Amino acid sequence: MRVEVDPTRCDGVGMCAYLAPDAIALDRWGFPLLPRAPRSGAGGAALERAIAGCPRSALRRVD
């Protein structure tokens, strides 16, 4: 699966990078750098947690 972020909603809380540390990094301002390639298995599950855990509901599954 892949995820995308609505940058107008994201406040740079960083919960996504905490919940999916292998897939999501934070830039120097604290905003997520998302993987371009799809993730499956454990990586996909971590992305699901990041989507569910975002306090701003800014993350969304693309496919």
Partner 1 sequence: MIATTEVGLRAPELAFEALAPRPLSTPVRMGIQEHRALFGPMPLDLRPLVQALAATGLGGYGGAGVAAIRKWESAARDGAGGIAVANAAEGEPASAKDAAIWQTRPHLVLDGLEAAAVAIGAAESVVWVHGGDRETVHAIERAVGERGPGLVPVRVVHGPDRYVSGEHSAIVRALRGGAAVPRFRPTGARSWVGGAPVLVNNSETLARVALLARTGLAGHREAALVTVVDAGVRRVREVDAGDRYGDLRGASSPAAALVGGYGGRWHDWRELAERPLLGAQAPELGAGVVALLPEGVCGVCETARIADWMAAESARSCGPCRFGLPELADALDVLAARGRAGRAPARIGTLADLVDGRGACAHPDGVARMVRSALRVFGDDVTAHRAGRCLARTQASVLPLPRHGRAR
Pick the closer one to partner 1 by CB: 4 or 22: 4
Question: Within 10 Å of residue 51's Cβ, how many Cβ atoms?
Answer: 19
Q: How far is the CB of 16 from partner 1 (least distance, A)?
A: 13
Q: Quick one: residue 33, left, alpha or beta (phi over 0 = left, psi -120 to 50 = alpha)?
A: beta
Between CA 33 and CA 24 the distance in angstroms is 6
- Please report whether residue 7 would count as binding partner 1 according to CB under 8 A: yes
Binding letters toward partner 1, positions 27-46, x by CB under 8 A: xxxxx---------------
Residues numbered 44 to 63 that lie near partner 1 (CB under 8 A) are 60, 62
